[in-house]
Amino acid sequence: MPGICAVAGVPLYDRRGAEERGEVAETIRETLAVPNKRAADLARITMRQLRYWDQVGLVVPSIRRYLSPRTAVRLYSFQDLLELLVAAELRHQPGISQRQLQQVIAHLHERDSDAPLREVRFATHDGDIYFQNPDGTWSGNPLPGWLIYRQAIALDLIGARIDMMKDRNPAAAGKILRRRGAQGSMFAGTRIPVGTVQRYLQAGYDTEAIIKEYPALTPADVSAAREYAAVS
């Protein structure tokens, strides 16, 4: 059938047909607006921590919606959530101070949204932080030997966690969408790379543990990842 690909019995999604039928709902990030409780749950932090970061200006919800002329609620956009999840990921990392955490979030906030990054690489030295440019150079021109603590933040995977907040069509479970490019194949109805789940499997994670990390996935998706690895 035209437009449908399959590899040794592993179902691959007919992307064109799925889009025409609405079975693959592309994430509309510009319209994402999440209340504080869902934002805290997604970042796996307490409401107290969320409110504190709001008060100190680290991560502030940027959307304001009025329920009535005198009542407004503040909601988190996709960019807000991206910064929130990065802050939650780094807050307990060794070698990262509160000031450096603020610098990382400010770097994310100021980045060009029209040229999205797959990851952010940074390093620290004596309390200062340096960001790696796409060409491999470092901001601030650090001297050789200064970059004593290096880390990379996988923004594409963090973005995938946010995208999972969108409803997924049950018919997409266990199906793989083949895409060209660096990210490769993904699970239908998500932005989660199949290779990510395969790495979890190689590390010894079972199906339950993987779904705990990626709640949008199903046992059928994990099984499809196993079969896809065996035939690819």
- Per-residue model confidence as pLDDT tens digits over 78-87: 889 989 999 9
3-class SS of residue 39: helix
- Give the mean pLDDT of 126-147: 79
Global pTM reads: 0.56
3-class SS of residue 31: helix
Residue predicted with more confidence, 84 or 5 = 84
From first CA to last CA, the distance across the chain in angstroms is 21
Q: Please report the pLDDT score of residue 74 as a whole number.
A: 86
The proportion of the chain whose per-residue pLDDT surpasses 90, expressed as a percent, equals 18
CA dihedral sign of residues 173, 174, 180, 182: positive
- Give the mean pLDDT of 195-213: 90
Nearest to 151 by CA among 132, 174, 171, 126: 132
CATH number of this structure's domain 6-25+170-231, picked from the four choices 1.10.10, 1.10.3210, 1.10.3470, 1.10.1200: 1.10.10
CATH number of this structure's domain 34-119+151-160, picked from the four choices 3.40.640.10, 1.10.1660.10, 1.10.3720.10, 1.10.8.350: 1.10.1660.10
**What residue ranges of the chain are covered by domains with CATH 1.10.1660.10?**
34-119+151-160
3-class SS of residue 202: helix
Q: Are 182 and 192 in contact (CB under 8 A)?
A: no
**What residue ranges of the chain are covered by domains with CATH 1.10.10?**
6-25+170-231
Query: How big is the chain, counted in residues?
Result: 232
Model pLDDT for residues 147-183, shown as the tens digit of each residue: 656 777 777 777 777 766 666 777 888 888 876 554 5
Q: Are 161 and 190 in contact (CB under 8 A)?
A: no
